[in-house]
Structure formats: structure tokens, C-alpha cells
Amino acid sequence: MMPAANVRATTAPPVGVAILGSTGSIGTSALRVLARQRDRYVPVALTANGNVAALAEQVATWLPAFAGLVQPHADAPAGWGVGADCLIAAATHPDAAIVINAVVGAAGLPATLAALRMGKRVALANKETLVVAGAIVTETARRHGGELVPVDSEHSAILQCLAGRQPHEVRRLVLTASGGPFRTWPADRIAAATVTDALRHPTWQMGSKITIDSATLANKALEVIEAHHLFGVPYDRIDVVVHPQSIIHSFVEFIDGSVLAQMGIPSMELPILYALTYPERVADSGVPSFDPVALGGLSFETVRYEDFPMLRLGIDAGRRGGAAPAVFNAANEVAVAHFLAGRLSFAGIAERVSAALTELAGVSGASLDDLLRADTAARDHVNAQVGC
């Protein structure tokens, strides 16, 4: 990550921002952030997956130069981009210096690569981009002078703790995990959890895919892989600790034993704003003043790896490298969709992902085409297993 002058003086024109996934949880938070920073930033391109009405309302409010809808819809106005290519059009829009990628899943990868190839800053909420093709994405950023700045709260915390430090000074990263809705449940009850149970996240309001990933702890596995690629830290120096209050967003331990943490109430607006202004800070984040007494207490617990098998499966896939992380991610995306549709039990998610990783263990991940083929093969494998 290279520092860049993304914070403009108020006399300069506002910096153009593209938001991919503007009607989702991160996208709507990002527009709230931009509404408070009108002197500095302006949305110039907005895309949604399929929510025509919500996108139309945003377009009427913000009048972006470009709007796009991934899923074709009869109600979409004639001037909008339509289909998956609209993500590329928004990401490469000449008016956009920063691209907030808040697409769900591996579908966000081509837009990240396209923006980085043009030397843009990508504020990355689409962690699957780095899970599927981390080495290729970071190399593309390096070669073309693009920047990857995390929006994910844990990685934003680590970035803030690392400010000004050298890589050799870092001993260990410790990602915090809320533990999800099943943190205190016994294993047999977790295995039979319903969709309603799994969508009841204790601390974060998010879209359904990431909420299920938080219940299985697959999300934390994706975040460990994301941290490995973003910060260049080996897997044996990235740990996870359960922290139910979600106040400390992660820790960095340095070689002298000193530990820095970044903390705040659970809100994505601060990490979104920091991804825009990094390495600077600006006022008006919307975050209320910090009150440590009101927090009550902070607690920490060991992760129950044996009861949440997706965490170990994902971290092991990351360590194995090659196509394994792409297979883990794609199998998980499809398994979660089947769980949400009532076609798979909660325990079935890990069973199907584990089977896909075994079945596709020999698949090559050397090139981007290899990784995309592995992604497709994993989706096909899980669909066939579930009988779709």
C-alpha cells in the first residue's frame, strides 16, 4: 500500500468515488459517509446487484455519471449499464479515483483487477477478491501503482496499528472474532441451527451471506487469508481470538512484546472513511465520542475450532495455497446459498466444503484462468452433491 494524496483541500474539486454494491449494507453505509464529506468526495458511479428501486432512489439523490445493475431487470432505465460488465465499467470509470468494492463473493474479482490495472485505489470490502486470487491481485496493484486499502473492520484496525512500522517489527497479528450467534451453543445444537438462528448476529448488521459466514466462522477464515495477502504476514503469525463485544477490532503484537489495538463501537462507517482518507484522518466520521466506562467490560475467549470446522478448513486452504482458497470460497458461497434456501443443514455447509476441497485437491491454481476454473468446478461439485 502506498500513501497517496486522497484527502484534498476544500478548495480542490471532490475526489470521484465508484461504489460497487451501493444498495447493500456496506454501500449504504458508504453513501452515509460521503454525505458527511461532500467537500472531499462525490459518488460518480453506483452499481447494484438487483435492487432496482433502491438504486433508482440513490441515482435520483446523487446523480452519478454512471449507474449499473448486474441482474437485468425490466424496470431498469435505458441509460443504466446492465449485466456483470457494469462492475468493470464502474470500476474503470474515468471520473472515479477510488473504487469501493462491496460486491458479495468472487464476482467482485474482475472489477478489483480492472481498477488496480488503472492505478486506482480500491477500498476493499470484497474480501473474496483476495481469497480467490490474493497473489495475482497484490502483484497487479504493485505493477500498476494501484492501492488496496481494506474496509473490513479487522484489517482497517491492523492497518491503523501498523502505521509507520516496518514489516520486520511485527511479531503477530491477532484478529478478533465476535464468535457469532452460536458462540455459547453446544456442538449438537449448532449442527441443527436454522436459517433464522444463523441470521441473528449479536453485534453486526450485515448482508445475509456474510452473516452466515460469521455464524460458521468461515468469515474469519476468509479474513485470515485476506490479512496474509494485505500485510504479507505468514499464516503461522496470524491468530484469532474470540471477543464477543466487537469493540477491539484487532491487535498487532510487535517484536518487543508491545501490543497495539484499535477499538470503537461496531460501525462500518469509520473503516469506510479511513479507506478513503488513508493515511490521513479527517473529522466528521459519525462515530460518537468514546466512553470506556459505558462499554462495561471486554472479554476474550479461545476459538472452538472443533465445533466450527469452517475456520480450520479455510485457514488450511490458505496455507495450502494454489487453488485451495478459491475452492474453499466458491464451495462456501454455494453451500451458504443452499443453506439459506433450506436445501442444506447448517452442519452440511462444512461437510460440502470439506468434500469439495478433497475432490479438487489436485486442481492447479497457477494462473487466473486456473483459479476461475477451480471456482467453477467447486460450485458445480457442491451443486451436484446437493442435487441441483
Binding site for Mg ion (CB under 5 A): 152-154
170 or 206: whose CB is closer to Mg ion? 206
For the CB of residue 111, give the shortest distance to Mg ion in the complex, in Å.
20
User: End-to-end alpha-carbon separation of the chain, Å?
Assistant: 42
What's the closest the beta carbon of residue 152 comes to Mg ion, in angstroms?
A: 4
Q: Which is nearer to Mg ion, 162 or 374 (CB)?
A: 162
Q: Which is nearer to Mg ion, 224 or 357 (CB)?
A: 224
The minimum distance between CB 205 and Mg ion, in angstroms, equals: 13
Q: Show the CA angle centred on residue 151, arms to residues 242 and 198, nearest 5°.
A: 45
Report the alpha-carbon distance of residue 112 to residue 91 in Å, rounded. 7
* Smallest gap from residue 217 Cβ to Mg ion (A): 12
* DSSP code at position 168: G
The DSSP call for residue 303 is: -
Q: Cβ of residue 219: shortest distance to Mg ion, in angstroms? A: 7
Give whole-number Cα distances, 17 to 25, 115, 202, in Å. Answer: 17, 12, 31
User: Which among 54, 53, 14 is positioned nearest to 35, based on CA atoms?
Assistant: 14
Report the nearest approach of Mg ion to the CB of residue 352 (Å).
23
In the complex, which residue's CB is closest to Mg ion? Answer: 152
- Dist. CA 233–CA 219, nearest whole Å: 19
User: Of 152 and 253, which CB lies nearer to Mg ion in the complex structure?
Assistant: 152
Q: CA 243, CA 25: separation in Å to the nearest integer?
A: 22
Angle between helices 324-340 and 309-320 (to 10 degrees): 150
Q: Which three cell numbers stand for residue 50?
A: 438487483
User: What minimum distance in Å lies between the beta carbon of 139 and Mg ion?
Assistant: 24
DSSP 3-state percent helix, strand, coil across the chain (nearest 5): 45, 15, 40
Closer to Mg ion at the Cβ: 147 or 223? 223
> In whole angstroms, how close is the CB of 167 to Mg ion at the nearest point?
22
The residue (of 128 and 154) whose beta carbon lies closer to Mg ion is: 154
In the complex with Mg ion, the residue whose CB is nearer, 154 or 253, is 154
54 with 48: CB under 8 angstroms?
yes
What is the closest distance, in whole angstroms, from the C-beta atom of residue 32 to Mg ion in the complex? Answer: 19
Q: Which is nearer to Mg ion, 153 or 329 (CB)?
A: 153
Find, among 253, 242, 260, the residue nearest to 298 by Cα.
Answer: 242
Q: How many CB atoms lie within 10 A of CB 331?
A: 30
Which residue in 254, 251, 178, 246 sits closest to 216, CA to CA? 178
* DSSP H/E element including 237: none
C-alpha cell at 248: 477491539
Three state DSSP letters for 41-72? EEEEEEEECCCHHHHHHHHHHHCCCEEEECCC
